[in-house]
């Protein structure tokens, strides 16, 4: 690829500028995806990182944990569905709590200790072993939710819990989140709602029997129990109303960035192709197949995209590595980076299509024109 | 044997409702190692005739044979392959790729048709040596003088070992002494290879380098 690579070498500044521009766009795309990933995790980490493969919601809740409650009869019916190996109650609510520093809103997830609904990402300390113990998300350790800190749930005779462990990515709705025993959750509910006679669970956590497919089991539960909607863990995450809202706006932003990549690459190579129309015509006239010129154009696009992607992904990783682990963590996911890179290559080729078309349409006879004296 | 035969070649360009006859029924034969000068004033049809002989332009009527190949019925793809393998061109205006060095301008001829690199390099170096460009091989066209650029163009035209080389006003951008120098080189290179050449010029002083001169006026050939 003499032609393609020599031109890049002889016009370094131009190609470096384009690669830099592509790099900037790639950085924006990858970094936004990483921020988005972190934001999503802060929204739904508590559900994503608990160990129940299936969560059953009230079917009126539209996948919203806050809007879901189940009656004892429903919980009982779920436990008797064929293929359910185990089912446990999960209680969830937001409470005002007193930390060492200030009152704050915190989310409680109550589960049966040692059973379904337990956090899977414990990093320091241990899981709760009895009532009034809690695991918190490591992201909130600095805010009065570190191991050894005590938290009082405000209300009428609210329970006080001590943090005994910290886990990764256990937040819910970007708020401090505590995993406590189901009894502690019931006590907290009673404290804020002293007149209520019963405390209802928000969800039922389900583990399928060996060899039972989880997608099949969710269908079975929906069919056999009235008024419930069983979701796999992944579905519960994806269908969360908060996640869906953020998803649609980030999709628009990313789509725009991808369109800009097509336009930038497309215009650059179009200008370049128009500028070198004469030498390209010369080569066609002396017998170069169009395919040779098109191949060289594609090589140049690939060179620019590779450089841009190295610059963009490299700086995104760098920034992600040095940025402080603030409220919203930055998560660069290998899978989405690979998808992005493949998409960028395809889009760059689409942008280059206009130039390819121009090369294919060169009329070699124009090389015989005597306009101009440049050799 | 003849390197080029034009048999009743005619070229008509449409021009609005009218038409321009650029070449009137032309018959021409160029011998195997003959250098033919084609002389005529501007607009007389020289470039048109040369383009037809080189497979760049299809004649309105008539037959074109180059070596033993009749290219009259060739399609675009066949013509492209024919130009790559059988003809050398030096055009009037653009002859070099500006971002390739002198040597690379020769090498690209071999690369574009997928020929092996080793022999191509040897051939390019030999041609550049013969053309007195050994010290200029790494220079870009913009760094070369007009005469040097024209010499690189001659080398490029000879890279594919053509049986017929076509030159369109190769000295028009050069002063007389440089022009004669370049013509001398063309003659040496072409004669040294036993190749045929057609050299278009409107400068009758250059015809002394040719074996035979044919003139063309208003599209009519005259010996
Ligand atoms: N593509 C074209 N369309 C219409 N007329 C053309 C075209 N190319 C050349 N001509 C006309 O044909 C005649 C011969 O042109 P050309 O072969 O370029 O002459 P020369 O090379 O001797 O100057 C001129 O009258 C020119 O205007
Ligand atoms: Mg001409």
The pLDDT of residue B123: 96
Dihedral angle computed from the Cα positions of residues A164, A166, A170 and A176, in that order, rounded to the nearest 10 degrees: 70
Chain A residue numbers touching B157 (CB-CB < 8 A) = 286
Question: CB distance from B178 to chain A under 8 Å?
Answer: no
How far is the C-alpha of A283 from the C-alpha of A237, rounded, in Å?
57
For residue range B165-202, list pLDDT tens digits in order: 999 999 988 898 999 999 999 999 999 999 999 999 98
How far is the C-alpha of B94 from the C-alpha of B37, rounded, in Å?
21
- Average pLDDT in chain A: 89
Chain A residue numbers touching B111 (CB-CB < 8 A) = 2-3, 292
The pLDDT of residue B222: 86
If pLDDT is split at 50, 70 and 90, which confidence band does A338 have?
Answer: very high
- Taking the CA of residue B219 as reference, the ligand 1 atom at the shortest distance is 14
For residue range A153-174, list pLDDT tens digits in order: 888 888 888 899 899 888 898 8
pLDDT of A373 > 80? The answer is: no
Q: Which of B17, B19, B22 most suits a substitution to test ligand 1, by most atoms within 8 Å of the C-beta?
A: B22
How far is the C-alpha of B195 from the C-alpha of A18, rounded, in Å?
46
Nearest-5° angle of CA A265, CA A8, CA A315?
60
Token pair of A71, please?
């009656």
For residue range B71-84, list pLDDT tens digits in order: 999 999 999 999 99
Chain B residue numbers touching A3 (CB-CB < 8 A) = 97, 100, 108, 111-112
Cβ separation B80–A368 shorter than 8 A:
no
Contact at 8 Å (CB) between A128 and A135?
Answer: yes
The pLDDT of residue B107: 97
Contact at 8 Å (CB) between B90 and B154?
Answer: yes
For residue range A204-218, list pLDDT tens digits in order: 899 998 888 989 889
If pLDDT is split at 50, 70 and 90, which confidence band does A326 have?
Answer: low
pTM assigned to the model: 0.81
Chain A residue numbers touching B93 (CB-CB < 8 A) = 278, 367, 369-375
How far is the C-alpha of A22 from the C-alpha of A306, rounded, in Å?
9
pLDDT of A307 > 70? The answer is: yes
If pLDDT is split at 50, 70 and 90, which confidence band does B112 have?
Answer: very high
Q: Which ligand is nearest to the CA of B39?
A: 1
Cβ separation A279–B91 shorter than 8 A:
no
How far is the C-alpha of B103 from the C-alpha of B124, rounded, in Å?
7
Using DSSP, state whether A199 is helix, strand or coil.
Answer: coil
Using DSSP, state whether B44 is helix, strand or coil.
Answer: coil
Token pair of B146, please?
């007009």
Q: Is the dihedral of CA A24, A26, A29, A30 positive or negative?
A: negative
Per-domain residue ranges of chain A: 2-44+242-374, 60-226
Question: A72: how many CB neighbours lie within 10 A of its CB?
Answer: 11
Cα-Cα end-to-end distance for chain B? 20
Ligand 1 pocket residue status of B41, Cβ below 6 Å: no
Cα-Cα end-to-end distance for chain A? 23
DSSP A172: B
For residue range A75-106, list pLDDT tens digits in order: 888 888 888 889 899 999 998 888 877 778 88
Average pLDDT over residues B99-108: 97
State the angle between helix axes of A290-322 and A334-360 in degrees (0 to 180), rounded to the nearest 10: 150
Range of lowest pLDDT (A17-21, A143-147, B123-127, B205-209): A143-147
Ligand 1 pocket residue status of B46, Cβ below 6 Å: yes
Question: CB distance from B92 to chain A under 8 Å?
Answer: yes
**In terms of C-beta density within 10 A (0-12 exposed, 13-18 middle, 19 or more buried), how is residue A212 classed?**
middle
Contact at 8 Å (CB) between B169 and A370?
Answer: yes
Dihedral angle computed from the Cα positions of residues B196, B202, B203 and B209, in that order, rounded to the nearest 10 degrees: 10
**In terms of C-beta density within 10 A (0-12 exposed, 13-18 middle, 19 or more buried), how is residue B2 classed?**
middle
Q: Which residue has the higher pLDDT, A23 or A140?
A: A23
Q: Which residues have C-beta within 8 Å of that of residue A131, sequence separation ≥ 6? A: A159, A180, A181, A183, A184, A187
CA B76 to ligand 2 centroid distance, Å: 23
Average pLDDT over residues A255-266: 93
The pLDDT of residue A327: 62
Cβ separation A368–B95 shorter than 8 A:
no
Q: Which residues have C-beta within 8 Å of that of residue B134, sequence separation ≥ 6? A: B128
Chain B residue numbers touching A283 (CB-CB < 8 A) = 97, 108, 112
Average pLDDT over residues A247-261: 89
Chain B residue numbers touching A373 (CB-CB < 8 A) = 93, 173
State the angle between helix axes of A2-10 and A12-48 in degrees (0 to 180), rounded to the nearest 10: 100
The pLDDT of residue A375: 35
Q: Which ligand is nearest to the CA of B219?
A: 1
How far is the C-alpha of A152 from the C-alpha of A21, rounded, in Å?
52
Closest CA to B153 of B101, B87, B89: B89
Q: Which residues have C-beta within 8 Å of that of residue A3, sequence separation ≥ 6? A: A283, A292, A293, A296, B97, B100, B108, B111, B112
Q: What is the predicted ipTM?
A: 0.96
For residue range B22-42, list pLDDT tens digits in order: 999 999 999 999 999 999 998
How far is the C-alpha of A239 from the C-alpha of A245, rounded, in Å?
10
How far is the C-alpha of A352 from the C-alpha of A96, rounded, in Å?
57
Question: CB distance from A374 to chain B under 8 Å?
Answer: yes
Average pLDDT over residues A321-350: 83
- Average pLDDT in chain B: 94
* Closest residue of chain B to A285, computed from CA coordinates: B56
- Taking the CA of residue B169 as reference, the ligand 1 atom at the shortest distance is 21
Ligand 1 pocket residue status of B44, Cβ below 6 Å: yes
What pairs with residue A133 in β-bridges? A162
If pLDDT is split at 50, 70 and 90, which confidence band does A372 have?
Answer: very low
pLDDT of B219 > 90? The answer is: yes
If pLDDT is split at 50, 70 and 90, which confidence band does A374 have?
Answer: very low
How far is the C-alpha of A163 from the C-alpha of A179, rounded, in Å?
9
How far is the C-alpha of A40 from the C-alpha of A244, rounded, in Å?
10
Q: Is the dihedral of CA A242, A247, A249, A253 positive or negative?
A: positive
The DSSP element (H or E) to which A321 belongs, if any, is: helix A290-322
CA B75 to ligand 2 centroid distance, Å: 24
How far is the C-alpha of B45 from the C-alpha of B113, rounded, in Å?
31
pLDDT of A325 > 70? The answer is: no
If pLDDT is split at 50, 70 and 90, which confidence band does A290 have?
Answer: very high
* Chosen from B107, B112, B166 to mutate, greatest number of chain A CBs within 10 A: B112
* Closest residue of chain A to B154, computed from CA coordinates: A375
Which of A287, A372, A373 has its CB closest to that of B83?
Answer: A287
Percent of chain B with pLDDT over 90: 91
The DSSP element (H or E) to which B168 belongs, if any, is: strand B164-168
If pLDDT is split at 50, 70 and 90, which confidence band does B94 have?
Answer: very high
Average pLDDT over residues A178-194: 89
Q: Which of B16, B17, B18, B20 most suits a substitution to test ligand 1, by most atoms within 8 Å of the C-beta?
A: B20
Token pair of B128, please?
């550049």
* Closest residue of chain B to A288, computed from CA coordinates: B112
Using DSSP, state whether A323 is helix, strand or coil.
Answer: coil
Contact at 8 Å (CB) between A93 and A69?
Answer: no
């Amino acid at each position: 690829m003499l032609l393609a690579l020599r031109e890049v070498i002889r016009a370094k500044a131009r190609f470096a500028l384009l690669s830099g521009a592509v790099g900037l766009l790639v950085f924006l795309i990858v970094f936004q995806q990483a921020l988005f990933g972190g934001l999503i995790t802060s929204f739904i980490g508590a559900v994503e990182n608990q160990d129940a493969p299936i969560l059953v919601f009230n079917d009126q809740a539209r996948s919203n944990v806050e809007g879901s409650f189940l009656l004892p009869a429903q919980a009982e019916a779920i436990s008797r569905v064929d293929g359910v190996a185990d089912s446990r109650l999960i209680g969830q609510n937001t409470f005002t709590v007193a930390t060492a520093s200030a009152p704050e809103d915190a989310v409680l997830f109550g589960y049966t200790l040692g059973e379904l609904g337990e956090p899977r990402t414990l990093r320091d300390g241990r899981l709760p072993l009895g009532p009034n113990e809690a695991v918190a998300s490591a992201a909130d350790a600095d805010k009065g939710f570190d191991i050894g800190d005590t938290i009082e749930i405000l209300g009428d005779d609210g329970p006080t819990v001590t943090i005994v462990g910290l886990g990764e990515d256990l937040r819910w709705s970007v708020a401090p989140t505590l995993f406590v025993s189901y009894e502690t959750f019931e006590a907290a509910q009673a404290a804020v709602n002293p007149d209520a006679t019963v405390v209802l669970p928000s969800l039922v956590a389900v583990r399928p029997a060996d060899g039972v497919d989880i997608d099949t089991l969710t269908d079975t539960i929906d069919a056999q129990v009235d008024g419930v909607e069983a979701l796999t863990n992944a579905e519960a995450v994806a269908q969360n109303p908060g996640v869906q809202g953020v998803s649609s706006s980030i999709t628009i932003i990313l789509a725009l960035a991808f369109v800009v990549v097509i336009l930038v690459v497309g215009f650059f190579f179009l200008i370049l192709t128009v500028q070198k129309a004469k030498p390209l015509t010369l080569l066609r006239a002396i017998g170069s197949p169009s395919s040779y010129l098109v191949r060289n154009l594609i090589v140049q696009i690939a060179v620019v995209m590779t450089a841009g992607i190295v610059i963009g992904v490299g700086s995104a990783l760098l920034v992600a590595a040095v940025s402080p682990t603030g409220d919203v963590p930055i998560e660069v996911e290998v899978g989405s980076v690979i998808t992005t890179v493949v998409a960028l290559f395809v889009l760059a080729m689409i942008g280059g299509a206009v130039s390819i078309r121009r090369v294919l349409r060169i009329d070699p006879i124009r090389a015989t024109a005597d306009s101009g004296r440049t050799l | 044997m003849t390197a080029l035969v034009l048999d009743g070649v005619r070229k008509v360009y449409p021009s609005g409702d009218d038409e321009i006859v650029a070449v009137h029924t032309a018959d021409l034969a160029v011998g195997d190692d003959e250098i033919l000068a084609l002389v005529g004033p501007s607009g007389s049809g020289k470039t048109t005739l040369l383009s037809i002989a080189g497979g760049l332009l299809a004649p309105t009527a008539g037959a074109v044979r180059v070596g033993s190949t009749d290219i009259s019925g060739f399609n675009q793809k066949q013509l492209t392959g024919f130009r790559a393998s059988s003809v050398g061109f030096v055009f009037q205006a653009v002859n070099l790729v500006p971002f390739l060095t002198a040597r690379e301008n020769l090498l690209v001829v071999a690369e574009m048709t997928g020929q092996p690199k080793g022999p191509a390099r040897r051939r390019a170096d030999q041609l550049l040596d013969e053309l007195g460009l050994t010290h200029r091989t790494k220079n870009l066209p913009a760094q070369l003088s007009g005469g040097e650029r024209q010499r690189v163009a001659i080398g490029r035209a000879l890279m594919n070992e053509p049986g017929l080389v076509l030159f369109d006003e190769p000295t028009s951008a050069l002063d007389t002494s440089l022009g004669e120098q370049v013509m001398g080189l063309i003659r040496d290179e072409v004669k040294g290879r036993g190749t045929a050449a057609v050299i278009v010029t409107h400068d009758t002083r250059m015809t002394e380098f040719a074996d035979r001169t044919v003139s063309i006026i208003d599209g009519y050939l005259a010996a």
